[in-house]
């Protein structure tokens, strides 16, 4: 188990115990967070302005940490790599990522952490 800040609906959040993360996709990496912060977007989520964020979602989309485990398709980082976790993910290969428009990624990127999936 580990500690996480969990959204509980508008105006509600709880620092609570959650299960350790697991790899779900061969492109996933598990990162031990060394530092994380909050930003204006989190404040909007907490006010209920971002309805895609469901109750029970682990918040956070900006952090630095150390890679603990990577999926079989990960080539850019390995166990022990120090990484910056960007709020915007990108596949790096689709037509949008190739022009630096990661927010429009066609392969599952964009703003997903702490939004559509559990965050940092």
Q: Residues in the site for Zn ion, rule: CB under 5 A?
A: 39, 41, 87, 90-91, 94, 97, 105, 107, 109
Can you tell me the distance from the alpha carbon of 94 to that of 106, in angstroms, rounded to the nearest whole number? 6
In whole angstroms, the minimum distance from the beta carbon of 54 to Zn ion comes to 18
In whole angstroms, the minimum distance from the beta carbon of 51 to Zn ion comes to 17
Closest CA to 30 of 81, 87, 103: 81
In whole angstroms, the minimum distance from the beta carbon of 1 to Zn ion comes to 26
Q: Which is nearer to Zn ion, 20 or 73 (CB)?
A: 73
Q: Which is nearer to Zn ion, 65 or 109 (CB)?
A: 109
Element (H, E) at 35: strand 29-36
Q: Which is nearer to Zn ion, 69 or 107 (CB)?
A: 107
């Amino acid at each position: 188990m580990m500690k996480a800040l969990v959204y509980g609906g508008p105006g509600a959040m709880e620092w609570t115990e959650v299960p350790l993360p697991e790899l779900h996709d061969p492109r996933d990496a598990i990162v031990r967070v060394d530092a994380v912060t909050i930003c204006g977007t989190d404040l909007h989520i907490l006010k209920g302005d971002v309805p895609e964020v469901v109750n029970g979602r682990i918040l956070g989309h900006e952090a630095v940490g150390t890679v603990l485990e990577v999926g079989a398709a990960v080539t850019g980082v390995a166990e022990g790599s120090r990484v910056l976790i960007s709020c915007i993910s990108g596949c790096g290969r689709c037509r949008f990522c190739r022009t630096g428009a990661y927010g429009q990624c066609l392969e599952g990127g964009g703003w997903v952490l702490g939004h559509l999936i559990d965050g940092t």
